[in-house]
Amino acid sequence: AQSVTQPDIHITVSEGASLELRCNYSYGATPYLFWYVQSPGQGLQLLLKYFSGDTLVQGIKGFEAEFKRSQSSFNLRKPSVHWSDAAEYFCAVGVNTDKLIFGTGTRLQVFP
Amino acid sequence: IAGITQAPTSQILAAGRRMTLRCTQDMRHNAMYWYRQDLGLGLRLIHYSNTAGTTGKGEVPDGYSVSRANTDDFPLTLASAVPSQTSVYFCASSPLGRVSYNEQFFGPGTRLTVL
C-alpha cells in the first residue's frame, strides 16, 4: 500500500539556520510528490511539487526539495529559516487512483 | 477574491445530531475533496468528487455523505454525529479530476466538536 512517512514530528531551529524536513514514501511507480505548509489556523498551501525531470525543485518562500529515487525520499530544505516559517509541513504523494496521501506532518518551531 | 469558503468556522454539536458542513469554490474547479485532520494522523480523505454529479469514497467515509449537484458546492453531511467525528475538516479543490497532476487548493477549515 502507498504511504508517506515524515519521521520528525517536531523540529526546532534558530532563525537564520538551515532546515531539512524529511519525507519518505512507499509507492511502486514514479510518484507525484508535494510539500504543503499549514500556518496556524489556516488551510494548506502548496510549497512545491515534483512530477518529472529535474530532481531538484524550487518552490515558494525560498524552499526547495530533492527527489531521490534510490532512497524513496523527497526532503524539503531551506538555507536560512525566517521566524515566519514556523508552521506545520506536510509531504504528500499523488497516486493514480485520484488520491493524495499525506504524511502526518512536521511542526516547525523557530527561535529568534 | 477567488478561493474556497467553508461554513461554519467552528461548531459544537451534540452526539446524534445531524450536521452539514458547507463548502463553496469560485474557481470553477472540476474536482473537490473533503479531508479530516486529526493530531498525529495528518489529513485523511473522506469523500471526493471528480466532477459535478459524481462522488467517490476516500479513506475514511463511514458516517459521512456528500453530494455534488453543481460545480461550486460540495456539502459534507454527518447524519448522526458521534464523538469520534470531532476533528478539523478541510475542503479542497483542483482543476482536473486526476489529483496526481494538480495542486489542491484548501479552504480555511471547520473545527467540529461532538459532545
Residue B57 has pLDDT above 60, yes or no: yes
Mean per-residue pLDDT of chain B:
92
- Looking at residue A27, its pLDDT comes to 81
Q: Name the CA dihedral angle for A93, A28, A24, B84, rounded to a multiple of 10 degrees.
A: 60
Q: What would the grid cell of residue B80 be?
A: 448522526
Return the SS3 of A84: helix
The rounded distance, in Å, linking the Cα atoms of B103 and B90 is: 15
Average pLDDT over residues A89-95: 90
Q: Answer yes or no: is pLDDT of A68 > 90.
A: yes
Cell 453543481, located at residue: B70
For residue B61, the one-letter residue type is P
Between B102 and B73, where is the model more confident?
B73
B45-59: average pLDDT: 92
pLDDT above 90 for A85? yes
**pLDDT tens profile B89-102:** 999 998 875 555 66
A99 to chain B nearest CA, in Å? Answer: 6
Mutate to test the interface with B, among A25, A44, A91 (most CBs of B within 10 A): A44
For the segment A1-26, the average pLDDT, to the nearest whole number, is 94
CB contact under 8 A, B108 and A90: no
CA nearest A35 in B: which residue?
B103
pLDDT at residue number A2:
80
Query: Residue B53 — very low, low, confident or very high, per pLDDT cuts 50/70/90?
Result: very high
The answer to whether residue A102 scores a pLDDT higher than 70 is yes
3-class state of residue B64 by DSSP: strand
A98 with B4: Cβ contact below 8 A: no
Instruction: List C-alpha distances in Å: B84 to A44, A76, B63.
Output: 23, 33, 10
- Which pLDDT value is given to residue B61? 96
**Is B37 a residue whose pLDDT tops 90?**
yes
From the list A43, A94, A96, which residue is nearest B106 (CB)? A43
Instruction: Identify the pLDDT of residue B97.
Output: 59
For chain B, the helix, strand and coil percentages under 3-state DSSP, each to the nearest 5: 5, 50, 45
pLDDT band of A98, cuts 50, 70, 90:
low
Distance from CA of A30 to the nearest CA of B (A): 11
